[in-house]
Chains A and B, each alone.
Chain A
């Protein structure tokens, strides 16, 4: 199921929504979110973005780019996940991995 989620994501022409993935996998959105968290913990996905707000640069500038802990109001950084190298490797055929 986790592999299917990664495969669906990688084969998508455009960035899929959690709800799209839930529909495709035939599971609830809640379970997709739990699986995403799990894949992040295991290093196959990584949250991307800085978590900074659209305005107000001073807080982010103070954090020298590590904006995830600033707690700015726009949540883009906490709602996007990308495949990591480990995730990419998992999706490659085992022969090409070797």
Chain B
């Protein structure tokens, strides 16, 4: 076995003999490291202006080499491409390992980020397997110290068995010591800090793979001829074959007789998961290195996050906190936004009156179109903006401080508790903002049937559009109790979602409950610029929708309410509405609210536009004042429940069609939601009637 002398219980060691005398010749030193560890800075410090930049032969990757001259000797420095490992997944990884194996530089300097040793040491383990002299440049020790980590280079050096030199490349610190370590490892001079003798015997400690894997590697090695693995060490090739390295596999296969290859292939296939054992051994080795050499502060920077998370991710208190925050957001909407909405509504009413006044001589239809259709519809929808600003601002803030990831965690646990399949949960969380990405997000579910059923559940999540209608109507009817009513309606939605999810899980997944690994980010102070950008972007989308889809729908609704005679009672819309009024009557809704529900099919906010057009056509300038005259309180609650459960907007249906591959299932979803929403509305109103409340 080339380059490997012995093994121990925990670490194998490289043969000291690979360190060969360099004499007076120029030393070749290769720099390797993961991206963003400061490798190029070290290269620039070492080579200054004497650099040559070209491409690696036959490749489009940049090749950089240069010369460093000291009083004693000169070094040819080769900057190899940034890479995390030496498995040929990328061109960079292939170039790096090919260069080290074929050119055999006098020394390889592996540059590590001291603040992220766990991520960088894997590369050290792989380079050591190539049996070349290695020096570790421990860069960014200052960054590590600033983040509270204390790395002890001498301990890491003892643990790794190779020289470890602390460096702050950004401040040109440690470069001379790095050159001394290279001289020592190459064997041309001991480090001055160690006196005349070498500091230690160069004996790198490689990961111990365990007896089973060692035996397996030995078996693979025995099937490999020396010629077919050059220039790589045979043991390294055996490991790469077990890891399923495509390039090495192709090379070995091309040089092997068919019979020998068949034997080797069956051995590799029988151990296709050996890669997990190999990688695990390296991670166990990394863990030992880090545990020995890295000291973390006792009172860590994460403790505040941990303390907060004890509450935010608690099975019961976490849900209570989530509901409290949601309730607070609704209260904020009511306390801050609702007065502004009323003011804007008043403004819209005044503007409509002014338009009518200025168009006294104009045709009546034109005056009504502009005042009732355009201003009544789009104007009223635009007056929802304060609600949306508060809602979007609250969501963006919660997102930016890191709370939304906790919401996802709590919601996942809650939905697991209800029996909902884990993979259904993510699209549903997305639905809180908008149902369109939620429907598109269902494609993470592999099973077509499960994806289909989850897609059917998406519209049950109240989106921002529905929530804004909910807050406006609840505010108009229930005043200070509006936040509680809104929270109740949302809770009803989530309960129905949970019940439906339970059914989906047991019908399609047979109770299977796969889990995720989740990562919670640290809490942080909000970045107001980010928050502002997110809110502005979402408001722009809302205004764009109001100026296009909602404007067009408002004009259509106005036209249907105007034609043929100019009076709403005889209009086509009234005709349609009266056909639907028997269904509406079961929920206490008059034909205008039923038509408003239907028009929300275009966009959810359109329910408000339609109610505004119909109320102003009936002589009420302000929707907020007109609503309580249209409906009884029990009917208002039924209306709110129906509109949050009703069929989704056309954009969501289009996304659902895209995911289900046709209109058939979308039609089924429409029928299901139609029946569900009207059913719930009827139960609420009839229940209230039986109790004699609010009718």
Contact = CB atoms under 8 A, between A and B. Distances in A.
Interface stretch (B189-197, B282-290, B341-349, B580-588): B282-290
A38 B278 CA distance: 12
User: Nearest 9 pairs between A and B by C-beta?
Assistant: A55-B433, A57-B434, A54-B433, A65-B440, A57-B436, A60-B437, A1-B280, A52-B437, A30-B118
B541 to A, nearest CB: 5
B390 interface: no
Contacts of A57: 433-437, 541, 651
Contact of A79 (B275, B395, B519, B534): B519
A48 B514 CA distance: 12
Given A19-B520, A48-B444, A81-B516, 12 more contacts: A9-B517, A17-B313, A18-B517, A18-B519, A48-B423, A50-B427, A53-B437, A56-B433, A61-B437, A74-B404, A75-B405, A79-B518
Interface residues of B, number: 65
Given A50-B441, A56-B537, A10 B436 contact: no
B279 A53 contact: no
Interface stretch (B134-142, B198-206, B408-416, B627-635): B408-416
Contact of A50 (B405, B440, B464, B521): B440
A65 B658 contact: yes
B515 interface: yes
Contacts of B280: 1-4
Please indicate which of the listed interface residues A4, A18, A45, A48 has the most CB atoms of chain B within 10 Å of its own CB: A48
B429 A54 contact: yes
Which residue, of B286, B429, B440, has the highest number of chain A Cβ atoms within 10 A? B440
Contacts of B538: 55-56
B620 interface: no
Interface string B91-123: 000000000000000000000000010110010
Interface residues of A, number: 54
Given A31-B290, A57-B433, A16 B408 contact: no
A56 B422 contact: no
B655 interface: yes
Given A2-B280, A28-B290, A57-B433, A17 B520 contact: yes
Given A30-B118, A34-B119, A54-B399, A77 B287 contact: no
B396 interface: yes
A76 B404 contact: yes
Interface of B: 89, 116, 118-119, 122, 273, 275-277, 279-280, 283-284, 286-287, 290, 296, 313, 392, 395-396, 399-400, 404-405, 408-409, 412-413, 416, 422-423, 426-427, 429-430, 432-437, 440-441, 443-444, 464, 513-521, 530, 534, 537-538, 541, 651, 655, 658-659
Contacts of B429: 54, 76
B422 to A, nearest CB: 7
Given A15-B422, A73-B530, A73-B534, A80 B516 contact: yes
Interface string A59-74: 0110011010000011
Contact of A35 (B283, B313, B443, B658): B283
Contact of A15 (B400, B433, B516): B516
Contacts of A9: 515, 517
30 contacts: A3-B277, A3-B280, A9-B515, A12-B515, A15-B409, A15-B412, A17-B517, A31-B118, A31-B286, A34-B119, A34-B286, A38-B283, A41-B89, A48-B516, A49-B426, A49-B444, A50-B437, A52-B430, A53-B534, A54-B395, A55-B395, A55-B434, A56-B434, A56-B537, A57-B436, A57-B437, A57-B651, A79-B518, A80-B517, A82-B517
